[in-house]
Amino acid sequence: MQNQQTNPTQQQPGGPPAQQPARLRPSGPVFPPEFQADRYLKMDESQLLEVLKAADSSVFAKNVACRQLALIGTKQSVPVLAAMLTDEKLSHYARYAIKPIPDASVDDALRATLPKVKGKLLCGMLDTIGHRGDTRAIEPVSRLIFSPDTEVAQAAAASLGQISGPAAAKALLDALPKTRGAVRHAVADSCLVCAEGLIAQGDTKQAVAMYDTLARPEMPKTVRDAAMHSLIVHKRW
């Protein structure tokens, strides 16, 4: 009888489980090339813009490029970033990059994008406009306080509060008696923020007038309490 050779990987009847051959494993984590961000961090503005314009660039690469442009971006970057503002996946990155660029073309691009987006993208756009303090956006932003989308309406109110100034104060005070529920509360909160901005700008008189309105009994309690405190601080209560 011929001796049969046993395959060590096969389990023998009644014996212990067969041992599988060891597999080679990498000694450390291996990341795909797109997650190796160092090369993007060394690029200048023009090179970063090429990354954003390239059709084969990954979302991750565009994210890193936008983060770098937030640090070094100039007017040169605005057209490319503005074209990304309506993109569901890239709008947030584009706003992050475009917000700190000190050029009026940024504000023009943000205002032009308002009618082209909705929902969360529109809320994000309103937040960026507010942070930039674009007084030319007050009119279109104030109209959005009456949007049927409650989140958009609240974001519009918050944007006006951040912009502050006499025109924003007027828009918020005009909207206050015309809104209800959560939107009215957001408008009242934004009036407080706007009043603080007026004080920072040296317009204490108008700020106190806003606090007087916000301290009325029909205002939300938290807003009323804050307004009364501010009136005490400014020796008007």
Alpha-carbon distance values, 102 to 2, 106, 140, 189 (Å): 88, 8, 22, 28
Kindly write down the DSSP assignment for every residue of the chain, as one continuous string.
Answer: -PPPPPPTTSPPTTSPPPPPPPPP--SS----GGG-THHHHT--HHHHHHHHH-TT--HHHHHHHHHHHHHH--GGGHHHHHHHTT-TTTHHHHHHHHTT---HHHHHHHHHHGGG--HHHHHHHHHHHHHHT-GGGHHHHHHGGG-SSHHHHHHHHHHHHHH-SHHHHHHHHHHGGG--HHHHHHHHHHHHHHHHHHHHTT-HHHHHHHHHHHTSTTS-HHHHHHHHHHHHHTT--
Within 10 angstroms of residue 160's Cβ, the number of other Cβ atoms is 31
Contact 166, 203 (CB under 8 A): yes
Mean pLDDT by 10 residues, the chain (237 residues): 51 54 54 68 94 93 95 97 97 97 97 97 98 97 97 98 97 96 97 96 93 94 94 74
- List all residues 6 or more positions away from 21 whose beta carbon is below 8 Å from its beta carbon: 9
pLDDT tens digits, one per residue of 104-148? 999 999 999 999 999 999 999 999 999 999 999 999 999 999 999
Instruction: Give dist(CA 117, CA 125) in Å, integer.
Output: 9
* pLDDT at residue 11, rounded to an integer: 52
pTM recorded for the entire structure: 0.82
pLDDT tens digits, one per residue of 204-226? 999 999 999 999 999 999 999 99
In the chain, the domains with their CATH numbers are 34-102 (no CATH), 114-237 (1.25.10.10)
